[in-house]
């Protein structure tokens, strides 16, 4: 828990312009640095970049599941990701890349109609291939669940069954992701959600259910729910064992605002 807690604070306190990137050989060797603190890690991570509109892209009007990950990866107009992209990022001075991913929308076949949230093997393999591209370039990688078709509205539903199933699916999703990447080094970091986490509780979730939005959550309930989700994330990752017992985990605030607002009302697992 302490490692996740410190990483949350370090992300807020670190200043990228002052960061010094660490020289790193290509590839992932599965190593851990148990003595490394979160503040030290954020300094070593150097400058960061986002692989945007790629693996988190999803066609919410498609109406059917595709077993070809490229159908989602390119549906917002981006090309398929290549090793050369990460080599260019590294050469430009970036040492960390966040890879946003839509897991529920793209990787499962109508999960909330079938009550099934198993992530397809093909999709997991494609995400791993992209992670390997970045690691081969010597970069740190942040892997998250990003917007994902707007399913955060399920957590804010006044229907207790909808809200309970959202949490069940969220735990099941991260158990699969964390288990799949369990043996990767601590150069791979998990992020519980993107910065839309709390704001998404009021969003409509037509891809998943028809009762997502009944009313807007008051701020105290919004923060409490975000804290429960972030704690469930850390608990689930840690329970998968292996390198995940010490992996750095990042937990976002309810909205992308100032550190002062974050520390005033948000907890950190």
Set out the domains of the chain in order of their start, with CATH numbers: 2-265 (3.20.20.80)
For residue 32, CA distances in Å to 35, 216, 245 come to: 9, 43, 10
The per-residue pLDDT for range 38-87, each reduced to its tens digit, is: 999 999 999 999 999 999 988 766 555 678 899 889 989 999 999 999 99
The pLDDT value given to residue 36 = 96
Q: How many residues appear in the chain?
A: 269
The pLDDT value given to residue 72 = 87
Looking at per-residue pLDDT, the higher value among 255 and 174 belongs to: 174
Residue 99 three-state SS: strand
For residue 241, pLDDT beyond 90: yes
Contact (Cβ atoms closer than 8 angstroms) between residue 253 and residue 10: no
204 band by pLDDT with thresholds 50, 70 and 90: confident
Most confident of 14-23, 84-93, 102-111, 119-128: 84-93
For residue 220, pLDDT beyond 90: no
The per-residue pLDDT for range 148-201, each reduced to its tens digit, is: 877 888 888 888 888 898 899 999 999 999 999 999 999 999 999 988 788 788
For residue 20, pLDDT beyond 50: no
The pLDDT value given to residue 266 = 54
What own/partner pairs with CB < 8 Å and gap ≥ 24 does 62-66 have?
Answer: 65/108, 65/109, 65/110
């Amino acid at each position: 828990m302490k490692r996740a807690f410190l990483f949350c604070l370090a992300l807020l306190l670190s200043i990228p312009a002052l960061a010094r990137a660490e020289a790193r050989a290509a590839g992932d060797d599965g190593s851990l640095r148990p003595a490394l603190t979160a503040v030290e890690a954020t300094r070593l991570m150097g400058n960061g970049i986002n692989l945007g509109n790629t693996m988190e892209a999803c066609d919410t009007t498609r109406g059917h599941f595709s077993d070809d990950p490229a159908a989602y990866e390119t549906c917002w107009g981006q090309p398929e990701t290549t090793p050369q992209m990460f080599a260019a990022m590294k050469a430009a001075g970036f040492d960390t890349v966040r890879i946003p991913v839509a897991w529920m929308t793209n990787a499962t076949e109508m999960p909330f109609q079938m009550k099934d949230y198993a992530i397809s093997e093909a999709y997991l393999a494609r995400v791993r291939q992209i992670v390997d591209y970045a690691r081969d370039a010597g970069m740190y990688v942040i892997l998250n669940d990003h917007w994902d078709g707007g399913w955060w509205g399920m957590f804010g539903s006044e229907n207790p069954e909808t809200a309970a199933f959202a949490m069940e699916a969220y735990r099941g999703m991260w158990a699969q992701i964390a288990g799949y990447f369990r043996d990767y080094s601590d150069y791979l970091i998990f992020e519980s959600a993107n910065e839309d986490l709390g704001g998404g509780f009021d969003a409509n979730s037509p891809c998943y259910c028809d009762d997502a939005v009944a009313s807007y959550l008051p701020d105290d309930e919004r923060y409490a729910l975000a804290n429960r989700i972030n704690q469930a994330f850390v608990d689930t990752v840690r329970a998968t064992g292996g390198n995940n017992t010490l992996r750095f985990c990042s937990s976002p605030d309810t909205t992308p605002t100032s550190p002062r607002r974050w520390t005033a009302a948000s907890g950190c697992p």
